[in-house]
Amino acid sequence: MKDELFVGVDPSGSAMRPSGICIINRSKKVSLLGRWNTFKDIEKLLLPFREKICSIGIDGPLQPPHELDRCCFTRQSDHCSHKQTGKYKGRYCEYLLIKKGYRCFLTSKDSFVKTWVSRCFRLNEILTALGFRTIEVFPYAARKILFPDLPGKKYQRSFRQQLQKCLSEKGYILPEPDFIYSHDELDAVLAAVTSRLHFLGQAELVGDERDGYIVIPRLATLK
């Protein structure tokens, strides 16, 4: 049996800022953990593993809400005719996440992170065109589900140190256990962990076919 690999990607809003990437195998060993900037960068990192990668978990929207289009997330969005008519902004999956208690950015026409949203759409388009299977994940929810007692914020060094310790205690082997990784790298780890759990049937889909699904771990699972 091939050594299945699972990828987690935490995209930034611009190629000028580094994004996180993690590749993990079925046995919980992280074979790659680092950063990338351009789409060409991530292609070079992933293509050598294409035959072994089962899925790529992307921390960001893969599609717009069903009543909107990509033009709604450009600088010219005020001039496009699309609008949402439902009772909530953004996508249904985001509405459900918020109801579950996991705050998230809304993929709506008045979003203040349109550049990031557009870049996530483009990343998904590039990776799927290369033959990769992508899923949308949400590391914040994953962390809250898997490590509910972990205090602090991800930008704090002490918090990231504790998160790495929690991952290690569950058998996840980072390349340099004593090194404190950045928050985008650790979000990529949680994205890869979610991708792995989804493959093993230990995750749930939040959302619907019209607006897409966000994959989060099932409660109390990290096997």
Give the pLDDT confidence of 165-189 residue by residue, as tens digits.
999 999 999 999 889 999 999 999 9
| Listed residue (203, 210, 202, 156) closest to 183, CA to CA | 156
pLDDT at site 158: 93
Which structural domain, as residue segments, surrounds residue 207? 5-63+114-217
Query: Is residue 100 situated within a structural domain?
Result: no
Structure token digits, residue 145 = 């589900």
Give the residue-averaged pLDDT of 154-165: 93
Residue 93 lies in a domain: no
Q: Are 69 and 150 in contact (CB under 8 A)?
A: no
**Is position 109 within any domain?**
no
Q: Is the residue at 82 inside a domain?
A: no
Task: Report the pLDDT value the prediction gives residue 67, as an integer from 0 to 100.
Answer: 87
Structural domain contains residue 97: no
In terms of Cα–Cα distance, which of 65, 69, 55, 60 is closest to 6? 55
Q: What is the DSSP string of 45-113?
A: HHGGGTTTEEEEEESS-SS--TT--GGGGSTTGGGS-----SSSSS-HHHHHHHHHT------STT-S-
Is 106 a member of any domain?
Answer: no
Q: What is the CATH number of the domain that holds 46?
A: 3.30.420.10
Higher per-residue pLDDT: 151 or 179: 179
**3-state DSSP assignment of residue 214:** strand
Is residue 220 over pLDDT 80? no
What is the strand order of the sheet 19-25 is part of?
30-36, 19-25, 5-10, 53-58, 134-137, 212-217, 203-208
Per-residue model confidence as pLDDT tens digits over 5-61: 999 999 999 999 999 999 999 999 999 999 999 999 999 999 999 999 999 999 999
Q: Lowest-confidence range among 90-94, 133-137, 148-152, 187-191?
A: 148-152
pLDDT over 50 at 101, yes or no: yes
For residue 4, pLDDT beyond 80: yes
Q: What is the pLDDT of residue 134?
A: 98
Q: What is the pLDDT of residue 38?
A: 98
Whole-model pTM: value is 0.94
**Number of domains within the chain:** 1
**What pLDDT does 1 receive?**
45
**Greatest CA separation for the chain:** 53
| Whole-number average pLDDT of the chain | 93
In this predicted structure, the answer to whether residue 147 has a pLDDT above a threshold of 50 is yes
In a domain, 32, yes or no: yes
**Residues 116, 119, 125, CA angle at the centre, nearest 5°?**
145
Tens digits of per-residue pLDDT, 56-82? 999 999 999 998 988 888 876 677 888
Flag whether 184 is in a domain. Answer: yes
